[in-house]
Copies of this chain bind each other. A is one copy, B any other.
Amino acid sequence: MERLSEKEILIQLQNLNGWTLNEGALEKPYLFKDFKEALAFINEVGILAEEVNHHPEIFNVYHKVRLRLSTHDANGITIKDIDLAEKISTLQ
C-alpha cells in the first residue's frame, strides 16, 4: 500500500466534503444534537471500519466527534484512507 503524495491527496479531497489534510491525517469534525447521536455515529463508523479492516482515530466530546484517517504501515495517507472517508461520507 503506497502512500499518496500531498498533491494526490489534495486532488482526492476535492470530492470529499468536509475532510481536510491536517497533521498527516485526513480529518473531519462532526457536530451532533447530543451525545447519543454522536455515539450512534461512532458505532456506524465502527461497522464500516470493521468491514474494510481499517480504523480511524476517533475523538469524542459530548456532541462532537472528530475522525482522523491515516495508514500507519505506510506512514502516511493511502487510497485506503480515501476509500474509508468516502464510505463514511455516505453515512450523513
Contact = CB atoms under 8 A, between A and B. Distances in A.
A51 to B, nearest CB: 12
A28 to B, nearest CB: 15
Interface in A19-70: 35-36, 39, 42-43, 46, 49-50, 55, 57-62
Nearest to A59: B59
Copies of this chain in its oligomeric complex = 2
B61 A57 contact: yes
Interface residues of A, number: 15
B35 A55 contact: yes
Given A42-B42, A43-B39, A43-B43, A55 B62 contact: yes
23 contacts: A35-B46, A35-B49, A35-B50, A35-B55, A36-B46, A36-B50, A39-B42, A39-B43, A39-B46, A42-B42, A43-B43, A55-B61, A55-B62, A57-B59, A57-B60, A57-B61, A58-B58, A58-B59, A58-B60, A58-B61, A59-B59, A59-B60, A60-B60
